[in-house]
Structure 1
């Protein structure tokens, strides 16, 4: 019996490592741009707030396409879909390194976000198909911890490459990492193809999306994902430029400090499943919102790098608490087809994140960084009060 359990755990952990690498790359590919915004803006002769459209250009298609990939991966092989889209991510990232104007850079970021969109949604769907219900949040937490370790580490690596080579060199580096990841997926991930008969209604993407959103669980978790993405990723988007412009850290120092966001996500991801079992999913979401509120208030009141470091760690804990819990709840929306609900969570989080980044840029342009922190802190208080009234399983 113990041998069977150990073999299952080994199988699940190997799956998480393989999927985590692909997710690591998809998160890294967007967020290494954050500490590079200033040099990109300087070379292209634009403001930092204008350069922020690069983040939005990636995150909007990254969010919008997630349910589409999730829907079709329920009907095709999730493993095959992953192998194709990671390759597209590598190509789009490489193209971004060689453009000379903001519109073309935005175009390549849109293309990259289009392909990268399915990686997390399809991976989560594959986890939902493979791992027993009672163990899912443990492995979802580990998977998302690896993913957002990529988000944090990419800031450090991006800052290092930007400082000593250039922001274009950073794009080339991450394109190569994405290509290597695709090779590992092709060799290490076996096909999961399964022949399922779907009727016309089940093959209607818009109808199935409407059904998922209108379920009792969907009406709660999908709007919550949208708002959480808007708030937490909106806070994260201009953290790198804030550290540079206000605290006068260089690009490498900014990147290293932001790396601790990723470490917090990885550590939090290993604990959140067990905490959720003990204290309940709703309380874990509220805990995440509390961490985010502390982050925003700390950045508003204290302009010391030590405080910024603690705030960055808290933001990582907050994000992993909320994201992994919502992703786990999404599996229960439609247990037979896990890809679409997972994609809808991604749409909310990253589509909301794109809007949050755009809103942060607008606040920055009219009233500086302090406006970002205090406005978002106010929003977090409101959404926490709403969360208190929501009934979650």
Structure 2
């Protein structure tokens, strides 16, 4: 690969990465502000956890739709429309007068934001040669989840010093700016195929690799995002940190994602996709162990870093494998990975809310830790390379 191509691919990844950065930031800014939102509406943290689920369920469900449409209508055009919708939904969140109105606006925001990461991944898959893909996918995902980590820090700052509502206003402004940045993307040509959405989804899902990687994506979202969702609340309630301190610690999740994303391509080439996924699961298991055993902020910091690295190792590897399922239409397979991750994350967050109300944080961490052990055992038995 010559230097000119490398520069073009890097530019593409940074443009798409900024859109994904805003999408992830808008999603996870809620996590450190759960206590502040709960106090503002006079409800418990377990009850306000529905705000996370309200976003992640439509975010997961709509991803295959956007993936399919992006293959037919053009990925750049779809990205511009959905980022604009994300911005409008986020403004609505900032003015919600009740918990249920906030949930409604989060559903709308998740509906539009659903395709940002999946369509961006498909654009990378269309543009970058096979041998270089995982490197650029890893970098893209590192940028995206840096947004997740930094949004937690900023959310903590806003909740501690001003209001959680200001956080939504801030990210809405960035989203509107992102629409302008996306105009710099090269226009891609829509595919002329007239495949039926449901038939194409069935074909991709039931392919040999699809039968393996899509359930793994669902399990990854359920376990790792479910675990992540209550990390900020745990640090506030159990270790006694204020919102700002919580945000600063959980911000390291994003730094860990960025670091892992820069290395995962080389790692996967060296040890293979399956071992990379298993390594990511082991790192996530360390997170559950630390949170269960050491209820201190120092352990929380290490747990946050370990979880960020583990998630990127698994997610970017599954996304790269998905490109091989349908070489002509990469939007749909990429989106189905997103459906598994964020649909699973929504389910994990919902169950986590129930576990938290019934047995507290110890029950929560033990449940997800046990699930990760099972995930490692099953993945070790699979054959998909």
Q: TM-score, normalised by structure 2?
A: 0.99
Separation of aligned partners in 1, 2:75 and 2:126: 10
Structure 1 gap segments, 5+ residues each: none
Q: How does 1:168-183 map to 2 (within 5 A)?
A: 168-183=165-180
Q: Would you say 1:193 and 2:178 are equivalent positions?
A: no
- 1:137 is the counterpart of 2:163: no
Measure, in 2, the Cα distance between the counterparts of 1:333 and 1:198: 17
Q: Which residue of 1 aligns with 2:198?
A: 206
Does the residue aligned with 1:74 lie in a helix, a strand or coil? helix
Question: Is residue 15 of structure 1 aligned with residue 7 of structure 2?
Answer: no
1:241 to partner: Cα distance: 0.5
Q: Counterpart of 2:361?
A: 369
Q: Structure 1 CA distance, aligned partners of 2:186 and 2:267?
A: 32
Which of 343, 355, 360 in structure 1 is aligned with 2:352? Answer: 360
SS of the residue 2:72 aligns to: coil
Partner of 1:108: 105
Distance 2:96 2:261 in 1: 37
Query: Which residue of the other structure, out of 217, 222, 238, is the alignment partner of 1:225?
Result: 217
From 263, 286, 292, the equivalent of 2:278 is 286
1:41 to 34, 38, 43: 38
Structure 2 distance, partners of 1:53, 1:163, is 22
Counterpart-to-counterpart distance in 2, 1:239 and 1:312: 8
What is the rounded CA distance, in whole Å, between the counterparts of 1:193 and 1:346 in structure 2?
Answer: 23
**Structure 2 residue corresponding to 1:184, chosen from 169, 172, 181:** 181
In structure 1, the residue matched to 2:257 is 265
**1:311 aligns to 2:307 (yes or no):** no
- Deviations for 1:104-130, whole angstroms, at most 9, x for unmatched residues? 110100000000000001001101100
Deviations 1:219-264 (Å, cap 9, x if unpaired)? Answer: 0000000001000000000000000000000000000000000000
The structure 2 residue matched to 1:161, chosen from 158, 161, 164, is: 158
Aligned residue pairs: how many?
385
Deviation (angstroms), 1:177 = 1.1
Deviation at 1:98, TM superposition (A): 0.6
> Post-superposition shift, 1:134?
0.7
Tell me by how many angstroms 1:103 deviates.
1.2
What is the RMSD of the two structures over their aligned residues, measured on CA atoms? 0.8
Question: For the residues of structure 1 that align with 2:121 and 2:96, how far apart are their CA atoms?
Answer: 33
1:66 to 57, 63, 68: 63
Counterpart position of 2:84: 87
Tell me how far 1:77 sits from its aligned partner.
Answer: 1.1
SS at match of 2:327: coil
Aligned to 1:97: 94
Q: 2:21 corresponds to which residue?
A: 24
Specify the alignment match of 2:237 in structure 1. 245
Runs of 4+ in structure 1 over 3 Å off: none
CA drift at 1:29:
0.2
For 1:198 and 1:50, the matched residues in 2 are separated by 45
* 1:67 CA drift (Å): 0.7
Gapped regions of structure 2 (runs ≥ 5): none
Q: CA deviation at 1:392?
A: 2.1
1:235 aligns with 2:227: yes
3-state SS in 2 of match to 1:75: helix
Separation in structure 2 between the aligned mates of residue 217 and residue 198 of structure 1, nearest angstrom: 23
